[in-house]
Structure 1
Amino acid sequence: MMILWRIIPIIALLIRLTVAKTHKFNLTASWVKANPDGVFERDVIGLNGQWPLPVLRVNQGDRIELLLTNGLGNANTSLHFHGLFQRGSSFMDGPEMVTQCPISPGNSFLYNFTVDQVGTYWYHSHSGAQYGDGLRGAIVVSRPDLEYDFEEVITLSDWYHEKSDILHHKFLNKYNPTGAEPIPQNILMNDSRNITISMHRNASHHLRFINMGLEVSQYVWLEGHNMTVVEVDGVFVEPYEAQVLYIAVGQRISVLVRGIEDIDGSARNYRLMQRLDETMLDVVPDDLALFGINHLVYNDAAPLITEEFLTDLEPFDDFELTTLDRTPLLEDYDYQIQVTMEMTNLGDGINYATFNNVTYVAPKVPTLMTVFSADPDIVTNAQIYGSNTNTFILQENEIIELVVNNFDDNKHPFHLHGHQFQVVRRSEAYENPTPYNEGSPSYDAFPDFPMSRDTVIVNTNGHVVLRFKANNPGVWFFHCHLDWHLEQGLALVLVEAPLTLLQTQKEKLPSNHIDCCKSGEVPFRGNAAGRFGTPSEWLDLSGELLQPPPLPPGFTLKGYVAFIMCVGAALYGLYSIYEYGMEDVVGLTSETEVLESLSTALRKDRFSKSHYGADLLQELTGQN
């Protein structure tokens, strides 16, 4: 049976390649008005004047040619195809200043690549937190051998009433020294609320769930139905029964659901529930709707049940999943990258996210352009990619072990571009930071057939151990998909097989990459500081973009908060003294009247009984 499952996809791929199609999209991003939660109308980013955005449906082996024009007028943009490997076309991956220059207002960029995977994916802006303004949609690559009768793409998201650039400035601000993330105003399903999904009795339904939110994971459960998990993040798995799903931002889960029989003749409808994971929020405002009540409709004439349907929120553990082809654990690693993530305040008073005390700061030249403009004798030197980009060089076909230690009291969904990784260890949540201790006898053995995906949750104060093979030359981003944390700099860059990149992809770089840089006045050759020439000039990073200096010695976050509170209390005290002292002064006209009134006020107050108060009173009134 295992051999059969390995052969079927190969046969299907060969068939697809012989009938492959090219899907052309000519899309303009622009601002349109929308009111998805029925509470507040705001500007969102539509494509060709429409929002929500279309589902892109293709088959394995098909080609996508998507011309994106920036009609926003006041903002750069870009597009990332989340979960697609871009094998042989890493320059189409999309994150600005990593693989391309941003698309400036009025300009266009052609994304042109072949899809060599199947499963559930999505596309979104990779410019700041811009996809929170609505520039995001689903990609479905059908798997021909998976049988079902009906299919539904179901997107989940948190929703903000303010635009991402406004929230960005409020968030990364010295007046937010604790780094408290913006709190969403609502919860959405398919960019709306109270949606209906048509169900058919005794039929098989394929439901593809995608969390396109900016911050909060979501629980999902169905009233009266069981779910069979068949895919996570484009990886097909051995069927796994589940009652509740837990989907972090960036993650996808596909399930099969059997339409129930009408046993008692009532032909009733059922509820499809979603709930925000409120433990990820610093505060939960009273007006924040944690629940979303949606509907599985069998009978249009029957009423929709609008009361909340509660269930035990204990989702299945995706760590227990096994890939459908039972891919074995990758052999011992060749290269281990171990990073510790923390939140810290730097010298400008802003709270940043760091890997090994370095917060990601975009270089002046897109990192992939640095690779393509470097000579072979310098391209493997990590120094040229910048001091603040957290760049690591991977050799081709190495087994990479990536360890993330979470020194934060929140969960974090980490996403890797260009690869799916094996999740070989994921710790539980801890009260205090507990880094990975390689070789600890208390750890369970790594699974023989570990789960694979491209976005994984790292638990509170815990750690995760990931493995993948460096078999896709390119420049790949690894970052927290809780997007506010990416805005804080929680990212690193993997420059994979740079020599192979130079030999195989440099000549394929489309000219519109360079045109995009020129139109935005962004340099497209040189090191992270835009310098090139001799080897010594390549290693000269003077003028590069750097993180702010550290806080003065001994000045901690607690001290910063205490300082602000003390200043606030002092200002309030001065204001109170002013108000108290002036209430009897208002209306007095002569100097004598003012001094007599002030003398009386000081005598009434305990302030006048102090040594300083007595001296001041004597000076003002000339009295002994």
Structure 2
Amino acid sequence: MAISLLSFSPLSLLLLLLLAFAGISEAAVVTYDFNITWVRANPDGLFERPTIGINGKWPLPVMTGTVGDQVIVNVDNQLGNQSTTLHFHGLFMNGSTEMDGPVQVSQCGIPPGSQFTYKFNLTQAGTYWYHSHDKGQYPDGLRAPFIISDPDFPYEYDEQFVLSVSDWYHEEMQVVIPKFINKANPTGAEPVPQSVLFNDTQNLTVPIQPGKTYLFQVVNIGAFAGQYIWFEGHNMTIVEVDGVYTEKAEAEMIYVAAAQRCSFLITTKNETTANYAFVSSMDTDLFDKIPPGLNWNVTGWLVYDDKKPLPAPALIDEYNDFDDFTLVAYDKMPLLPEPDRVVTLDVVMGVLGNGKPYAFFQNITYVPPKVPTLYTVMTTGEDAANPLVYGEFSHSFVLEKDQTIDIVVNNNDTGKHPFHLHGHNFQAIARSAENAGNFVSTNTSQTNFPEIPMRRDTFVLYPQGYIVLRFKADNPGVWLFHCHIEWHVDQGLIATMVEAPLEIQKMVTLPQDHIDACVAGNTPYAGNAAANTVNHLDLRGATVAPKPLPGGFTARGIVALTFSCISAILGMAVIVWYGMVDMGEASKQSEIRRIAKMNREEAAAAAAAAAATEINETGKTD
């Protein structure tokens, strides 16, 4: 039945308008003004260093919002010596891929002295974070949680507490990264952090009350180390991972890899007779070696009574963490149908011809293109559907809209890798055991996938094993897929998913400050990966990786080895000559021993020089 507004009294109409306005006004506009500068900080009490702050302060503010809000972040880069960007980790950026933040992917870097605005709608609830996505920069401090509230959160609790955990380095990334990707580090041993932090500090205390339920929202904002986390005397009830609600799951200990999030409920005891430690312990299996004196744990306390002591944590014999693969999504979303396309990526860590260590998918190490990949989408017309225009070393895959995609990742490395997909969460449908040694090229080797798989956006691939991740390409945009260990990002363990590029052209308009940032940074913003705006399939001049490692000995290595052999032969000849000279037996033997010792030392030095030269040239040892 149709109802005419004329049938309502003026007072009734006013009430209806007020109710309608109240419904509209529930969606707020949340604005952040971020002046990004250098400050100084000493969070572990061991070393003061330059740290990236916001509005002159560090730790950084926790961003908050509610589902339905619009967020505006006005960035003013006043670092002086570095460009920067912001990425809002885990947010799908539906319809606004240009706000995703990775440098040379969805934007140019924001140069020092420039301004840039991020504007997007919050369509997801849960636990997220924001961080720089430029030059391995965020371990310098430009990272913090981002919590999005949900009026329809499915579980009851009394209070919530946001808990970040992170590894911490004493040197700036602009110093550490060149030493890491260096001829002197041919094995690619990742830099080991100096400390662990809770909420960017140590000795954190959390005041609690007895008989209450607390929601802890935990974010690993670190660069490298996965974290084992446990609360003494209390169990955790997992209810969310990476913004996806789960069926309740009881855990004594959890593992949170770099970039992962986990929310859980803790119900406190009905007494205040003691306080309890909670601990985060870095996964030292990731470290090539443990430096002397490293404390890989950080301790906080649940404080029932601040007049009682804070106990030292108990020692544990082994880590017994919860298997997150067994989690079940709360919304019971079923397994997606068989994939339309399978993308297989084999992880290899190795050395290129410049003697430096790199990381590879299918023998390709990522190199940023001259033009941000999204801008190539926007400026190449119909050619945007051709993956060739994005350049070999952006490692791009063009996906069709609404395809079901499987990403199969095989790990030929001996370390763990937390893989993250921008713009989506995925169903984690298969994972082999650690060091299983078996790999797959498609998903057809396994059919017993879970009916209701766990979904998340960051998932750990075990050493010498595989994972299978399934998602629907229903969010047109340019989205990275990469390991979230920052050292491996720096080494190039990245692929690019260009999802429905012709659809992107219809829905995206690049804001003027995007172009302004490119101009200020002298970065091309049109054309293919080589900035060619005339012939999109002409990639001459595109950025490329160093040349592959040559087979066998290099010329300089052969020369060095030859000279070491000549040195050894000459030494032996001198010893023989002295043996033939007529001199006293005692003097002769003494002189022979002296010459032999001298030539052994010279031969050893020459051999060492040859080996060093060979490592520098090829990255190989016997």
Q: Which interval holds the TM-score relative to the shorter structure?
A: 0.7 to 0.9
- Secondary structure of the residue aligned to 2:175 is helix
Q: Does 1:118 align with 2:125?
A: yes
- Mapping 1:169-208, distance limit 5 Å: 169-208=178-217
Tell me how far apart the structure 1 counterparts of residues 120 and 282 of structure 2 sit (CA, whole Å).
Answer: 35
Alpha-carbon distance, 1:374 to partner: 1.1
Specify whether residues 22 and 75 from structure 1 end up closer, same or farther in structure 2 by C-alpha distance, changes over 3 A only: same
Long gaps (5+) in structure 2: 1-20, 572-586, 603-622
- Secondary structure of the residue aligned to 1:439 is helix
Specify whether residues 270 and 492 from structure 1 end up closer, same or farther in structure 2 by C-alpha distance, changes over 3 A only: same
Specify whether residues 606 and 434 from structure 1 end up closer, same or farther in structure 2 by C-alpha distance, changes over 3 A only: farther
Q: Deviations over 1:20-61 (max 9, x none)?
A: 111111111111110000111111000001000001110001
Aligned twin of 2:495: 492
Tell me how far apart the structure 1 counterparts of residues 99 and 76 of structure 2 sit (CA, whole Å).
Answer: 15
Alpha-carbon distance, 1:310 to partner: 2.6
Alpha-carbon distance, 1:325 to partner: 0.9
Tell me how far apart the structure 1 counterparts of residues 455 and 77 of structure 2 sit (CA, whole Å).
Answer: 35
Specify whether residues 55 and 570 from structure 1 end up closer, same or farther in structure 2 by C-alpha distance, changes over 3 A only: farther
Q: What is the CA RMSD across the aligned residues, in angstroms?
A: 2.5
- Mapping 1:220-231, distance limit 5 Å: 220-231=229-240
Aligned twin of 1:541: 539
Output the TM-score relative to the length of structure 1.
0.86
Q: Would the aligned equivalents of 1:365 and 1:523 in 2 still touch at CA under 8 Å?
A: yes
Q: Would the aligned equivalents of 2:278 and 2:313 in 1 still touch at CA under 8 Å?
A: no
Specify whether residues 418 and 226 from structure 1 end up closer, same or farther in structure 2 by C-alpha distance, changes over 3 A only: same
Q: Does 1:527 align with 2:528?
A: yes
Aligned twin of 1:39: 46
Paired AA for residue 175 in structure 2: I
Alpha-carbon distance, 1:607 to partner: 3.1
Q: Would the aligned equivalents of 2:342 and 2:442 in 1 still touch at CA under 8 Å?
A: no
Q: Would the aligned equivalents of 1:341 and 1:407 in 2 still touch at CA under 8 Å?
A: yes
Alpha-carbon distance, 1:608 to partner: 9.5
Alpha-carbon distance, 1:600 to partner: 11
Q: Would the aligned equivalents of 1:436 and 1:463 in 2 still touch at CA under 8 Å?
A: no
Aligned twin of 1:393: 398
Aligned twin of 1:364: 370
Q: Would the aligned equivalents of 1:293 and 1:308 in 2 still touch at CA under 8 Å?
A: no
Q: Deviations over 1:398-425 (max 9, x none)?
A: 0011111111000000000000000010
Tell me how far apart the structure 2 counterparts of residues 510 and 16 of structure 1 sit (CA, whole Å).
Answer: 30
Alpha-carbon distance, 1:308 to partner: 3.9
Q: Does 1:28 align with 2:31?
A: no
Q: Deviations over 1:153-202 (max 9, x none)?
A: 10011111000111100001111111110011111111111101111111
Tell me how far apart the structure 1 counterparts of residues 23 and 494 of structure 2 sit (CA, whole Å).
Answer: 36
Q: Would the aligned equivalents of 1:337 and 1:401 in 2 still touch at CA under 8 Å?
A: yes
Paired AA for residue 273 in structure 1: V
More off after superposition, 341-350 vs 140-149: 140-149
Match of 1:135 among 127, 131, 142: 142
Aligned twin of 1:551: 549
Q: Does 1:382 align with 2:380?
A: no
Matched residue pairs, number? Answer: 558
Match of 1:236 among 223, 245, 251: 245
Tell me how far apart the structure 1 counterparts of residues 331 and 69 of structure 2 sit (CA, whole Å).
Answer: 24
Long gaps (5+) in structure 1: 1-13, 578-597, 614-624
Alpha-carbon distance, 1:278 to partner: 0.6
Specify whether residues 268 and 608 from structure 1 end up closer, same or farther in structure 2 by C-alpha distance, changes over 3 A only: closer
Match of 2:107 among 100, 103, 112: 100
Aligned twin of 1:509: 510
Q: Would the aligned equivalents of 1:217 and 1:249 in 2 still touch at CA under 8 Å?
A: yes
Aligned twin of 1:428: 433
Tell me how far apart the structure 2 counterparts of residues 245 and 604 of structure 1 sit (CA, whole Å).
Answer: 63
Alpha-carbon distance, 1:292 to partner: 1.3
Match of 1:74 among 77, 81, 86: 81
Output the TM-score relative to the length of structure 2.
0.86
Q: Would the aligned equivalents of 1:16 and 1:60 in 2 still touch at CA under 8 Å?
A: no
- Secondary structure of the residue aligned to 1:371 is helix
Specify whether residues 104 and 395 from structure 1 end up closer, same or farther in structure 2 by C-alpha distance, changes over 3 A only: same
Q: Would the aligned equivalents of 1:16 and 1:59 in 2 still touch at CA under 8 Å?
A: no
- Secondary structure of the residue aligned to 1:607 is helix
